[in-house]
Structure 1
Amino acid sequence: MRVRKITMPVYFSIVILYLEMVFHIYEFRSLSGGFFFMTLFSVMGGVLIGALIGKMRERAAYIVTIVVTAVLCLFFCAEIVYKSVFQKFLALFSMLGVAGQAFDFMDVIGKNVLLTIGGLILLWLPMIFLIIGKRKNVIVFRQYSWKESMKRIALAAEMYLAAILILGCMSQEPYSLNDIYYHNVSTDLTVEQFGVLTTNRLDAWYQVAGKPMRTLQMAVADDADKKNDKKDADGKDSGIDTSPNIMDIDFDGILAASPNDSVTQLTQYFQAQSGTNKNEYTGMFEGYNVIFITAEGFSGYVIDEERTPMLYKLKNEGFVFNHYYTPGWYGSTSDGEYANLTGLLPTDGIVSMREAGENGNNMFFTLGRQLERNGYTLNGFHNNDYTYYGRDKSHPNMGYNWYGTGNWFQPEKTESGKDYWPQSDVQLMLQSMDMYMDQEPFHTYYMTVSGHMMYDVNSNQMAYKNYDQVADLPYSETTKGYLACQLELEKALETLVVELEDRGLADHTVIVLGADHIPYDDKPVCDELAGHELDPGVEWYQNDLIIWSGSMKEPVQVDKYCYDVDILPTISNLLGLEYDSRLMVGQDILSDSEQLVCFPNRSFISGKCIYNAVNGSVTPLTDEEVTQEYLDQMSAVVYDKFSVSEMVLHENYYQYLDGHISFKSDEKSN
């Protein structure tokens, strides 16, 4: 029987489509609704690559085909491993600026290669297909004429135009295929609907032409007006000032001078917001010193009355947040910091804090800039490289005198002279406290590192150092290693609080501690500590937020659902700072505004339900019916939250406040 020959365009079309399908089934357990476009773009890419290689002579074409096939297989494998480590898909070109930091995760990458070995083997099968096909003379490498190559290139162009025309005729509603393709809604959604190569092709284009502009939906949460009316009435009855935490901003002036449609949309959006209201806790910590800690890889499941008494004290004697979440943002630790410090959602596909620092964005509402305007001494400390994730630019841009390894921190070393990995959070406190505690009022920011993965005694100095304290616990070795690392944070907090108490500062200092992320590469650790298998969509990301001061006589229980972007507006209100809650995506947790938690995959928690966007499940939180209309309405609200955050970052929106904002303190002085 005569075997039909496979030409280069057909070969690469088969290979790319095979890789996309295997990847899709491995990651999503099905082929998504965008399979038609994934197929069309895969064949288009295959035809184009085959046409270009077809211009080469046979030997050169074979060698190049081997190289291109290997690169394609390797790239799909890298996507699977990256996803298994970070729980996000890789947008390669956006992440090139921090690619060197991948070497810091080599142990983790090695572990996840083993965990995903089945999928990786399947993704390398095209190499075997190529070798056998060449030997059996099934795959041919005939050199094309210019006319033949141009015909195939024209065919690829026709397929591309067909896809674009079909997309253009489809719905442009939020999260539609049209919206996902044209507006960079989410890297994960683009991968799911259009495939790995299309996602990275679009990402490359964004680096050349800039991010696509989105259209805000101007959506409003359900019953917002009624709730605001009730707030006003309750405030009058109690005698508490419940006026909104907003500033005098000349939005009309900003609109008149707006340079583009994005700035216009943002201004109209902020102008339409009501803001969150002041409450009984407004100004509770006015004039206090502020110590803000972003804790590396922290999960509230480590907190135990006997094992971590200081963490237990701070959690249970301050504000007790019973439904707090730390979603897994795209840029790992740096994006966790960004959410904590800016009150904005990190932008998918880039490292938001790094971009803001490199571009010198106006960080008007960050705690550093707010307290700088109030005469505070600002310092930031880290027990790792001070330039890591571009913090040497981003953190001074927020007002901090920034210190870390390389410009201040003295790392501990092993007997062989090698730096500990990770470094001790206790040393971070010991080396820094004298630098600021006699300079009241002070605001100090810490980025810890002792809780960094991997959690085993052979590769983690903190796990090795504290292992004896967890050795007898009924957990796996990885979980015991994780707890041992977090014990260093416990000791660091004990060192800090004791020093504050000894200096008589604890009663007018507030400590804020939030995680950068949960231990995202070790879900079994969280499952084990929780005592049951956690739902990976939402439940896994539940965490603890600490806001504590020695002046608090009794704890305050907070049942509101909240997350990391809510920290900044909450602490701003507690400090009695003059800020504008309309210009933050997060909201004051202690206010009576409607609760909302947004997740990167567009799941959300509202006052009515927990919505899991991955499987479409809805968990009601009240007796009230959750209708499809309500889900669509809240999905549009969530869409706006992400879009606004991205547009604020890319447009450097806060710069437009200059000359258009008035402070009440200035009015009083006049």
Structure 2
Amino acid sequence: MDEAGEPREARRADERGGLAGLALPGFLLASLLLMELVLRAKTDLPFFGIGVLYAALFAGAAALLAHLVAGFVTGVTRDVVIAGFLAGSAALFITQFIYYDIFKTFYTVFSARRAGQAAEFGGNVLGKAVDHAGWLLLLAAPLVIFLVIRTSRRERPATWRQRAVPAGLMIVLVVGALAGISLGDRGQNSAYDMYYRDYHPVASVDQLGLLTSMRLDLQRTMFGFERELAPPPVVAPQPDPPDHSEGPSTQSPDSTGHPDGPRQTDSPDAPPAPVEQNVMDIDFEQLMASADSDKLRNTHQYFGSREPTDQNDHTGRFEDYNLIFITAEAYSHYAVDPALTPTLHKMTHEGLHFTDFYNPVWGVSTSDGEYAATTGLIPKSGVWSMAESGSNSMPLAMGNQLRRLSYATFAYHNHTYDYYSRDISHPNLGYDYKGVGNGLEVARTWPESDVEMIDVTMPEVLQDEPFHAYYMTVSGHLEYNFGGNFIAAKNRDLVADLPYSEAGKAYLATQIELDRAMELLLERLEEAGVADRTLIVLSADHYPYGLSEDEIDDLAGHEVESNFELHKSSLIIYANGMEPETIDEPVSSMDIIPTISNLMGLEFDSRLLMGRDVFSGSDPLVIFNNRSFITDQGRYNALTREFAPEPGATPPDDYRQAISDEIDRRFYYSTVILDEDYYDLVLDR
């Protein structure tokens, strides 16, 4: 007997059991690492690198924590705790695996809370599960192994002495991981950036692992998260303020007062004519003086220091026109063909033809794609930005801009009206909104017909001028097959002889429906006698991610580069009888609102938008969710951290960092606009 009255042999057995018990957290760690590596295999994230090390350290800490919790109980209850941990982990990895396969990103806690809407697409999810059954079984294998080999034992709960070793190891692993993160790289998309400053799912999973990424997301969702301030704006020396007695005007930074050189004047000695700019009457100095927080003060400073974009020879070209604005589900330049989709081809090449246009995928696929296109802002990571904006002032959205000018404004969606909470967001954008279930009557197929939506809505749209109609289509939705996709089956004969995969053919069949809808739209405008005074704008929400990489390569005729080219798409800006024009510089969906605002001669403030009017002479900047970018000087891959200058371009040494800093500012201040209802504060309109 020892001093405590316990048999020495029993105490030694318990101590050996405590040490032997470390085999359980070892098994749990191996299980979590297997899941992390399977996910990386699917998402093309690197197997080797600092991110894998941090994922392993945090996985080890999670395994030890589960072991410690299980140590408080015995027998079947203990097995249930461990099995529950493995089952929960497997469920998380399996659902994220399938979600990424569909959307090429990971879902957030905010999206998971609204997962009920995903039930509408249960068939798509089941199809993906069948396609990847082998991978999913591998993710579930640790749970199966545990249930097979683990038999209930009658061991007593662990003593505090036995818990000390795993507890100490857990602390060492967490402290080691945090020390490495703090002492390591602090640049954009680094582990430090994702752990302390920001969150975008793919980069976070790459740098920290899925478990830690989701834990941080849950923590921030529950308790809030104040992002670090963006890099301070670079304030260029300002010229003497211009005379605004006849409206806002100023000179450009060029000494000639015009980005392309001096304008012609009546006399060679006359001063250059001032260049009008797209600004509104906002006193940022006064706003800074009255701000009640550093965040707002810095925000006023940022927007007040931005250079407005110039008005130009395109300003007001379509003034007083009607406007039809369309976000087309999964539309792409692959769907523009003179024989297959002649109307889309006509509108592309007989309007403003954008040869280098991009539709970056954001965190919430379609909804964030709509948000970027209809607001000119970067969506906030981790939430549904469009839905969150539903209670904000959104004066620069086209519905609100044109409604102030007495336009009749309508919005339509030919699927469930409250999906993504559009019944909250779209009326707030300035529209009388109808979808399936609150006034739009179309046949309940999956997906529903774009042709039918145009057919049943045009009588309402055309009853008064001027009018503005916004459409979110659905005919182009995945999955791309001829069994479960009504629209693909409807147009199957039209693609039967194309030299593509079955999925590629099915995708093009859905885009034929969009083409027929545009054909009907043009016919109805012509019949009503308004075609020559109606501007049509059409872009996608995202690329057709319902196709696999091989299927997209098949459509493209070559291997598509995944960071930039994958998001290349088509933007249509067309009016009957207009002079065709080609725009070769990089353009993105965030440029749509400032561009059409300028084309229609509307009053807007270009400083308050993250995109730019493409005709203003300002420098192009295409921003991607992972902080990659394209400019006229080059392109930067934020995942590989490689900058490739454009042929013939010689950007300065600090160019890449300066652009990355500006991108950080635009992400940050887009979030401030959403979180602080900033437009209501500065415009009050």
Instruction: Report the Cα distance in structure 2 between the residues aligned to 1:555 and 1:326, rounded to whole angstroms.
Output: 22
Does the CA-based 8 Å contact 1:470-1:483 persist in structure 2?
yes
Greater than 6 Å deviation, 4+ residue runs:
221-227
Give per-residue Cα distances to partners, 1:32-79, cap 9 Å, x unaligned.
323343233222222222111211122110122112212212211222
Give per-residue Cα distances to partners, 1:255-281, cap 9 Å, x unaligned.
233243322222111111002111110
Does the CA-based 8 Å contact 1:566-1:586 persist in structure 2?
yes
Instruction: Report the Cα distance in structure 1 between the residues aligned to 2:550 and 2:53, rounded to whole angstroms.
Output: 36
Task: Give secondary structure in 2 for the equivalent of 1:44.
Answer: helix
Pairs within 5 Å for 1:253-652: 253-357=286-390, 360-412=391-443, 419-522=444-547, 523-552=549-578, 554-625=579-650, 629-652=654-677
Instruction: Report the Cα distance in structure 1 between the residues aligned to 2:633 and 2:315, rounded to whole angstroms.
Output: 27
Instruction: Report the Cα distance in structure 2 between the residues aligned to 1:491 and 1:351, rounded to whole angstroms.
Output: 31
Counterpart residue identity of residue 362, structure 2: W
Instruction: Report the Cα distance in structure 2 between the residues aligned to 1:454 and 1:220, rounded to whole angstroms.
Output: 46
Residue aligning to 2:103: 86
Provide closer, same or farther for how the CA distance between residues 63 and 250 of structure 1 changes in structure 2, counting only shifts above 3 A. Answer: same
Provide closer, same or farther for how the CA distance between residues 351 and 5 of structure 1 changes in structure 2, counting only shifts above 3 A. Answer: same
Unaligned stretches of 5+ in structure 1?
A: 413-418, 662-670
Counterpart residue identity of residue 287, structure 2: I
Counterpart residue identity of residue 254, structure 1: L
Instruction: Report the Cα distance in structure 2 between the residues aligned to 1:594 and 1:533, rounded to whole angstroms.
Output: 30
Unaligned stretches of 5+ in structure 2?
A: 1-15, 240-250, 266-272
Pairs within 5 Å for 1:157-306: 159-161=173-175, 163-164=177-178, 167-170=181-184, 172-218=186-232, 228-229=253-254, 232-233=257-258, 234=260, 236-238=262-264, 242-306=275-339
Provide the TM-score with structure 2 as the length reference. Answer: 0.88
Higher RCO by CA contacts (8 Å cutoff, separation 6 or greater): 1
Structure 1 residue 223, shift from structure 2 partner: 13
Give per-residue Cα distances to partners, 1:402-441, cap 9 Å, x unaligned.
10111112221xxxxxx21111111111111111212111
Provide closer, same or farther for how the CA distance between residues 141 and 525 of structure 1 changes in structure 2, counting only shifts above 3 A. Answer: farther
Instruction: Report the Cα distance in structure 1 between the residues aligned to 2:339 and 2:235, rounded to whole angstroms.
Output: 43
Provide closer, same or farther for how the CA distance between residues 532 and 168 of structure 1 changes in structure 2, counting only shifts above 3 A. Answer: closer
The percentage of aligned residue pairs carrying the same residue is: 36
Does the CA-based 8 Å contact 2:36-2:210 persist in structure 1?
yes
Higher deviation after alignment, 268-277 or 567-576: 268-277
Residue aligning to 1:19: 35
Task: Give secondary structure in 2 for the equivalent of 1:232.
Answer: coil
Structure 1 residue 453, shift from structure 2 partner: 1.0
Residue aligning to 1:108: 124
Structure 1 residue 154, shift from structure 2 partner: 6.6
Residue aligning to 2:12: none
Structure 1 residue 603, shift from structure 2 partner: 1.5
Does the CA-based 8 Å contact 1:608-1:621 persist in structure 2?
yes
Instruction: Report the Cα distance in structure 2 between the residues aligned to 1:55 and 1:384, rounded to whole angstroms.
Output: 51
Q: 2:141 aligned to 125, 133, 147, which one? A: 125
Task: Give secondary structure in 1 for the equivalent of 2:654.
Answer: helix
1:39 aligns with 2:56: yes
Residue aligning to 2:243: none
Does the CA-based 8 Å contact 1:107-1:454 persist in structure 2?
no
Quote the RMSD (CA, aligned, Å): 2.8
Residue aligning to 1:50: 67
Counterpart residue identity of residue 265, structure 1: N
Task: Give secondary structure in 2 for the equivalent of 1:404.
Answer: strand
Structure 1 residue 638, shift from structure 2 partner: 1.9
Structure 1 residue 224, shift from structure 2 partner: 13
Higher deviation after alignment, 238-247 or 64-73: 238-247
Instruction: Report the Cα distance in structure 1 between the residues aligned to 2:209 and 2:106, rounded to whole angstroms.
Output: 11
Structure 1 residue 570, shift from structure 2 partner: 0.3
Structure 1 residue 371, shift from structure 2 partner: 1.1
Structure 1 residue 114, shift from structure 2 partner: 4.3
Provide the TM-score with structure 1 as the length reference. Answer: 0.90
Instruction: Report the Cα distance in structure 1 between the residues aligned to 2:629 and 2:261, rounded to whole angstroms.
Output: 29
Instruction: Report the Cα distance in structure 1 between the residues aligned to 2:569 and 2:458, rounded to whole angstroms.
Output: 27
Pairs within 5 Å for 1:61-100: 61-91=78-108, 93-100=109-116
Instruction: Report the Cα distance in structure 2 between the residues aligned to 1:614 and 1:147, rounded to whole angstroms.
Output: 45
Does the CA-based 8 Å contact 2:314-2:598 persist in structure 1?
yes
Task: Give secondary structure in 1 for the equivalent of 2:535.
Answer: strand
Instruction: Report the Cα distance in structure 2 between the residues aligned to 1:466 and 1:503, rounded to whole angstroms.
Output: 28
Does the CA-based 8 Å contact 2:200-2:363 persist in structure 1?
no
Higher deviation after alignment, 477-486 or 277-286: 477-486
Does the CA-based 8 Å contact 1:241-1:278 persist in structure 2?
no
Does the CA-based 8 Å contact 1:182-1:212 persist in structure 2?
no
Give per-residue Cα distances to partners, 1:559-600, cap 9 Å, x unaligned.
110110100000000011111111100111122111110111
**Number of equivalenced pairs:** 647
Does the CA-based 8 Å contact 1:343-1:586 persist in structure 2?
yes
Give per-residue Cα distances to partners, 1:207-240, cap 9 Å, x unaligned.
1222322311135699999984167234751578
Counterpart residue identity of residue 453, structure 1: L
Structure 1 residue 627, shift from structure 2 partner: 6.5
Which has the higher Rg, Structure 1 or Structure 2?
2
Structure 1 residue 169, shift from structure 2 partner: 4.7
Task: Give secondary structure in 2 for the equivalent of 1:229.
Answer: coil
Structure 1 residue 29, shift from structure 2 partner: 3.5
Counterpart residue identity of residue 208, structure 1: M
Does the CA-based 8 Å contact 1:77-1:123 persist in structure 2?
yes
Instruction: Report the Cα distance in structure 2 between the residues aligned to 1:495 and 1:157, rounded to whole angstroms.
Output: 66
Does the CA-based 8 Å contact 2:257-2:274 persist in structure 1?
no
Task: Give secondary structure in 2 for the equivalent of 1:30.
Answer: coil
Task: Give secondary structure in 2 for the equivalent of 1:34.
Answer: helix
Higher deviation after alignment, 445-454 or 253-262: 253-262
Does the CA-based 8 Å contact 1:213-1:262 persist in structure 2?
no
Instruction: Report the Cα distance in structure 2 between the residues aligned to 1:241 and 1:271, rounded to whole angstroms.
Output: 20
Provide closer, same or farther for how the CA distance between residues 629 and 275 of structure 1 changes in structure 2, counting only shifts above 3 A. Answer: same
